[in-house]
Structure formats: structure tokens, C-alpha cells
Amino acid sequence: MEKNLNLYIETFGCQMNFSDSEIVGSLMADNNYFTIQDISLADVIFINTCSIRDRAEQRVRKRLKEFRSLKKKNPDLIVGVIGCMAERLKDKLFEEEPIIDLIAGPDAYRDLPSLLNKVKIGQKAANILLSAEETYADINPVRLDSNGVSAFISIMRGCQNYCSYCVVPFTRGKERSRDPESIIKEAHNLISMGYKEVTLLGQNVNSYSWNQGKEEINFASLLKMLAEVDPALRLRFATSNPKDLSDELLHTIANHENICNSIHLPVQSGSDKILKLMNRKYTRSWYIDRIKAIREIIPGCAISTDLITGFCSETEEDHMETLSLMEWVGYDFAFMFKYSERPNTTAAEKYNDDVPDSIKGKRLKEIIDLQQKLSLKSNMKDIGEKFEVLTESISKRSDEQLSGRNSQNKVVVFPKENYKTGDYVDVVITDCTTATLIGKPI
Ligand code: 5AD
Ligand code: SF4
């Protein structure tokens, strides 16, 4: 019998990457590699990487330097770089980071065991082929780092929107949707393991599309099918593109108690000029119309966003438009970034990265400060309200408190009493911070 080997997977980047690491864990388990939590016991380390901003890549490079001491202790240790950075930098990575033995892009994970066999006979091994079909539909992911309550299901891969700033179409290839039957089967599996919440993942979930004979299953119909699997299974999804957010989807959310009232709708900028340069394919007024539709069809729905400051040619007026849009929407939450030029993107090829870093920083601080105010305001208005909270864990601050989320995806902390992880608890909100609601069970 072949000896079992220890695999340590470290993940950087988005939820998609965390989900991919679980697919990799499963593929490797079928080949006698078992994922472990203690890096010092590893025979193989995979670092699942992100290329979205330069800073993400620098963090990975720093981590690779830290692996040197592990390789000194164990010269047989194999280090593999997988994911977006592997895809973007290809063989160049072997030259730049000699510690690396193996490189695999996001569509090449089935090849990992044979790549490892090559490494074992002394070669460096790489597979960075992108595929138009690979969805890993038949793989039942291992659940890494799990709280046993909420899990990810990847429903589509790739992206072909070609936002001018974004590296993802180059690192993850063409958009493709996964067979709905395999998605439903994965949901059933999770339920049988005791999971209570699933987040459906894709770069652009609302352009999900699967042809079943003559019938097209779109994202709204997939969501409806999943919502009807089990009323006790909560559903979330990320990420949606404003250009594809349909009323049909909003009605589906409104009609099902177990589809969470929280929509992440990245706007990136409030200025039409910048949106056009970003190739976002919607305008400020289109976005405002979509927010109005959400407010009308799903009252009380939380709305969050992603914002980029300092994109090419962004003026103070453009920045003001972003601030005013943020105020108008009153976001509950936002991820905010300085623009980082990525090689080969349209923005890198055609536009000048002409906003000085100091101005990017100043604008970033202004949007962060505004978002803090908006988040606090949003949380304050929840004081006195009652929410159903799905308990996820013991609170980080105190063993006597539990932490979970309400439908709006807000973190709610409350006294433990006799409740445990996985319980749905009705909680009334008594206090808050910018990041957390504080309440008591009723
Ligand atoms: N620079 C800064 N932020 C970026 N994002 C994507 N590409 C870049 C870039 N080149 C942000 C967007 C996206 C989120 C995942 O990352 O806001 O929605
Ligand atoms: Fe990073 Fe984008 Fe790749 Fe996710 S898809 S890991 S955010 S580059």
C-alpha cells in the first residue's frame, strides 16, 4: 500500500480560492494525500494564490520566503504554487522563486497528482492550461477550516466581462456554469453532514446559465431549486454584477424565507466617466435603478459593495461622485481598495495609472471614513429589532457569548445560555459597534 502523505494548503484571495482549495483537498485525498493543519508536518505545501492586486502577490512572495526554513529542515518538502498567480506568471515563477517545485493554474487541479510524481523524480512540473469546460462538478470538496455550519458551493467558474482593471479573465479563463444536478447533490451532502448555510460562488453568479434540453436554467431558477431543497438551509451568493441583476432574481429572493436578504453589488465607482473607462457596462443611473428595485422588492435587504479609488484619470469630481453615491445607497458594508495596475489588462495597456499613490491613499481614507459612518448608522437602526441568527461559533471576545449572522449578513453577538453552534436563535438587538450587532435571545 502507498504511504499517506501530509498536504498543507494555504489560501490567499477570494472565497472562490477557498472553495478551490477544498476541491484540491478532495482530489488529493483520492491520491493518498491528506490535508493537515500543522505546516511543520507537511510533505507537500500548496499555496493557493491571488493576483488581483500587486499587494496580494507580494504577500504570497513573502510567504514563499518564509517556507525556506521549512525546506532546510526537510529537503524533500515539495512546494507548489497553484491558482491565479501560477496562471498569470507561468514558468517565470520558477526563475523568480527557486523554492517552487510545481505550478498549477485554476483549471489544472486534476493533474496535481501526476505533477507531483514528476517532482518526485527530480523535475519541476507545471500545468497552466485553461479549460472552457472544467467545473469540477463531480468533486465532493473536503471542508477545510470549517465551522460545520456554513459552506461554499462553487456554481460557475471564470469571467469574460473584461473590466479594464481586472486580471481575472486572464487567470481564470472563460465563464462556464456547473451542472445544476451536481450542485443540488452537493447541497444534499452538506445537509446530511449537518450544514445549515450555503454560499453559492462564482465571479458573476447572476449570469449562471445551464441548458437542459430546450429549457434554460438561469441563476434565479437555480436559486429557487436550491431554496426548495430544505427550508432550514440558508442560501447566500456572491458576487453579482449590477448589469445582470434581474427583477426575476429579486422576486425569487423575496419569495423564499431561506434566501438571505443581503446582496453584494460591487459598484467600483460613482462616476459615469470612470465606469465607462472601467468597462463596467452600466451607468450610475442604471445602478441607482437596481438599488431602487432591491429596496422595493426586498424591503430591509442589506446592500454591500466593492470600491476602487484612484483609477486612471480619476479626478476629485469623480471621487466626489463615488462619495455621494455611497451616501445615497447607504451601504451596510464595503470592501475598498486603491487601484493597482495589473499587467496585460486593458487599463495597463491603454490608460495611464496617473493618480499619485498619495492621492489614492487620501481618497481611500475618505471612503473608508464615510463607510464607517454608514455602517454605524445602519447598525444603529437595528437596535430594538428582532432577527433570526444562525449561530456560527463562540465569540472571539468571550466564551460566554456566541457569534452568528442574521439574514442581512451582519455579525450578531449574544449570551450563550443553552444555545450551540448551528442553532437558529431569535435575538433582539440592544447595542452595536460599526462592525457588530449586540443582542440577547428572546
Ligand atoms: N486594483 C484594485 N482593486 C481591484 N479589484 C479588482 N481588480 C482590482 C485592481 N486592479 C477589486 C474590485 C473587485 C474586487 C474583488 O477587487 O473592487 O470587485
Ligand atoms: Fe484573486 Fe481574483 Fe483570483 Fe480570486 S479570482 S484569487 S480575487 S485574482
Q: How far is CA 65 from CA 48, 82, 114, 420, in A?
A: 15, 16, 26, 41
245 alpha carbon to ligand 2 midpoint, in Å?
Answer: 22
Output the residue whose Cα is nearest ligand 1's atom 2: 339
pLDDT at site 2: 66
pLDDT at site 3: 78
Cis amide bond preceding 49, omega within 30: no
- Ligand nearest the Cα of residue 88 is 2
Q: How far is CA 196 from CA 301, 394, 420, in A?
A: 20, 17, 13
Burial letters 306-315, b for 16+ CB under 10 A, else e: ebbbbbbebe
Ligand 2 proximity of 47 Cβ (cutoff 6 Å): no
Output the residue whose Cα is nearest ligand 2's atom 5: 168
CB 40 within 8 A of CB 57: no
CB 392 within 8 A of CB 403: yes
| pTM for the full predicted model | 0.96
Kindly give the number of the ligand 2 atom that is closest to the alpha carbon of 52. 8
Output the residue whose Cα is nearest ligand 2's atom 6: 50
The residue to mutate among 12, 53, 168, having the most atoms of ligand 2 within 8 angstroms of its beta carbon, is: 168
| pLDDT digit string, tens, across residues 148-191 | 999 999 999 999 999 999 999 999 999 999 999 999 999 999 99
Output the residue whose Cα is nearest ligand 2's atom 1: 50
Ligand 2 proximity of 13 Cβ (cutoff 6 Å): yes
Helix 284-297 × helix 316-329 angle, to 10°: 10
308 alpha carbon to ligand 1 midpoint, in Å?
Answer: 6
144 alpha carbon to ligand 2 midpoint, in Å?
Answer: 19
| pLDDT digit string, tens, across residues 320-336 | 999 999 999 999 999 99
CB 168 within 8 A of CB 347: no
Kindly give the number of the ligand 2 atom that is closest to the alpha carbon of 49. 6
Ligand 2 proximity of 52 Cβ (cutoff 6 Å): yes
Residue with cell string 437602526: 381
* Per-10-residue mean pLDDT, the chain, length 442: 87 96 97 96 98 98 97 96 98 97 98 97 97 97 94 97 97 97 98 97 95 93 98 97 96 98 98 98 98 98 98 98 98 98 98 98 98 98 98 94 98 97 98 98 96
The three cell numbers of residue 330 are: 447607504
Question: For residue 156, which amino acid is it?
Answer: M
- Ligand nearest the Cα of residue 171 is 2
Kindly give the number of the ligand 2 atom that is closest to the alpha carbon of 106. 3
Kindly give the number of the ligand 1 atom that is closest to the alpha carbon of 345. 10
Question: By C-alpha distance, which of 68, 63, 85, 82 is closest to 126?
Answer: 82
- Ligand nearest the Cα of residue 335 is 1
Q: What share of the chain is helix, strand, coil (3-state, %, to 5)?
A: 35, 25, 40
42 alpha carbon to ligand 2 midpoint, in Å?
Answer: 25
Ligand 2 proximity of 169 Cβ (cutoff 6 Å): no
Q: Which domains does the chain have, with CATH numbers?
A: 5-127 (3.40.50.12160), 150-380 (3.80.30.20), 386-441 (2.40.50.140)
Considering just the CA atoms, what is the radius of gyration of the chain in Å?
22
Taking the CA atoms of 410, 18, 57 and 46 in sequence, report the sign of the dihedral they define.
positive
81 alpha carbon to ligand 2 midpoint, in Å?
Answer: 14
Kindly give the number of the ligand 2 atom that is closest to the alpha carbon of 16. 4
Using CB distances shorter than 6 Å, the residues near ligand 1 are 52-53, 165-166, 266, 268, 306, 308, 337, 339-340, 342
Give the DSSP H or E segment for 12.
none
pLDDT at site 213: 87
pLDDT at site 61: 98
